[in-house]
Amino acid sequence: MISLNVNDQNFDIDADPDMPLLWAIRDLVGLTGTKYGCGVAQCGACVVHLNGEAVRSCITKVSRAQGQKIRTIEGLSQNNDHPLQLAWNEVNVPQCGYCHSGQLMSAAVLLRENPNPSDADIDQAMAGNICRCGTYLRIRKAIHLAAELQKKGETRG
Amino acid sequence: MINRFSKFTKEHTGALRMTAVMGTILSLVTLMAFTLHHDVKPVAAPIVVKDSVASVAAFKKVYSVLMSPRCMNCHPSGDIPLQGDDSHLHTMSPRRGVDGKGVYAMKCTNCHQPTNTAGKHTPPGNPNWHLPPANMKMIFQGRSANQLAKQLVDRKQNGNKDLKKLLEHADDGLVLSGWNPGEGRTLPPLSHAEFKKQWIIWLKTGAYAPAK
């Protein structure tokens, strides 16, 4: 058995240590908000937080995640009120939406480390998250808005 | 005391052969003197016996490895690492960051695992995957053999490594990973054993820089 701590809950799963964390999260823990995109760390759809860092769960083995703090899109906030989630909704960012749990998890690391990111900061932070619908400009706009919301402290930050 | 390491930048000439012989004799005499005094502690520093011709010849082999994609790709001239056997800019344009470990959601170990990921076109792995830090970029890309030889032994440009640390660096975990690059990537032109041998020869014969 392997113990995973996902969104502050412990799960004991029967998995091969080499199983991709993404499979464990989706198929064994049952949280399907995190998406499979490419399977080789090229697209960013599967980003989750491992001890606060935006790792790609498709190539992260569960053995690396055992006993560590994992956070998925379902655990980004208690009530879907993370500044980024509010901003995403306000700007109506997604088109098909498939990549956006990964986009949000990457953006959350950016905002945590840089509360007032420039366009260049956003581009650097988000360069590894691909969106086939091409919503990049709305993503950038929403991150700026989320930064404002976070500064005002009107929402959970 | 034995020969000093600080003369590495001299280019080789035939006349230096004589210096090398003299240096060898002096080193032996010095060692004998130390042996005779029981209260003198053994010399910890590696022994350098200068030989500019051998040194330059060894460095040319070392250089062929350092400029191979497996080494140079993480010693880029810019702040984006290189990728592949053609050393193109890394897709997604990850940045060096202050500590060499990336920025924000684009940190090296977000994709590069502690070990290689199976399959072609997947991230190679190492527990310590990183670029040189922003204040010590240790650039290989674009450096001539002359420039790189001088840079490697300049403590202001090599991470403050003295001769002992440079010698040890041949067995650094990230250096060794160049010979375990994952599927679909060519190996450096020399085996690690041969590289290490030439690296040691280069350093222990005076770390001379080739003329060009």
Tokens for A12, please give them: 């004991």
pLDDT tens for each residue of chain A, 157 residues long: 999 999 999 999 999 999 999 999 999 999 999 999 999 999 999 999 999 999 999 999 999 999 999 999 999 999 999 999 999 999 999 999 999 999 999 999 999 999 999 999 999 999 999 999 999 999 999 999 999 999 998 554 4
Inside any domain, residue B116: no
| B67-80 residue pLDDT tens | 999 999 999 999 99
Tell me how far apart the terminal alpha carbons of chain B are, to the nearest angstrom: 31
Q: How many domains does chain B have?
A: 1
Residue B11 lies in a domain: yes
Residues written for chain B? 212
Q: Is residue B169 part of a domain?
A: yes
The residue segments making up the domain with residue B175 are 5-86+135-204
Nearest beta carbon to residue B110 from set A54, A61, A126: A54
Q: Select the more confidently predicted residue: B177 or B43.
A: B177
pLDDT over 60 (residue B39): no
ipTM score of complex:
0.95
In a domain, B197, yes or no: yes
- Per the CB < 8 A criterion, the answer to whether B89 and B83 are in contact is yes
Each residue of A129-153: pLDDT tens digit?
999 999 999 999 999 999 999 999 8
pLDDT digits 0-9 by tens, B101-121: 999 999 999 999 999 999 998
Position B11 pLDDT exceeds 80: no
B149 assigned to some structural domain = yes
Q: How far apart are CA A60 and CA B154, in angstroms?
A: 38
pLDDT number for residue B46: 83
Q: Is residue B210 part of a domain?
A: no
B130 inside domain: no
Chain A residues touching residue B119 (CB < 8 angstroms): 40
Which residue ranges form the domains of chain A, and what is each CATH number?
A: 2-72 (3.10.20.30), 83-152 (1.10.150.120)
Our CA dihedral for B161, B79, A105, A110, rounded to 10 degrees, sits at 90
Distance CA B166, CA A54 (A): 34
CB pairs below 8 Å between A and B: how many?
67
For residue B120, being part of any structural domain is answered with no
Q: Tell me the CA distances in angstroms from B183 to B120, B121, B122, B165, B179, one per residue in order.
A: 5, 8, 8, 31, 11
- The mean pLDDT value of chain A amounts to 96
Give the DSSP per-residue string, B35-84. HH-TTSPPP-SPP----HHHHHHHHHHHHHHHTSHHHHTTS-SSSS-EET
Closest CA to A24 of B133, B27, A32, B49: A32
Helix (H, G, I), strand (E, B) or coil at B197: helix
Contact B113 A59 (CB under 8 A): yes
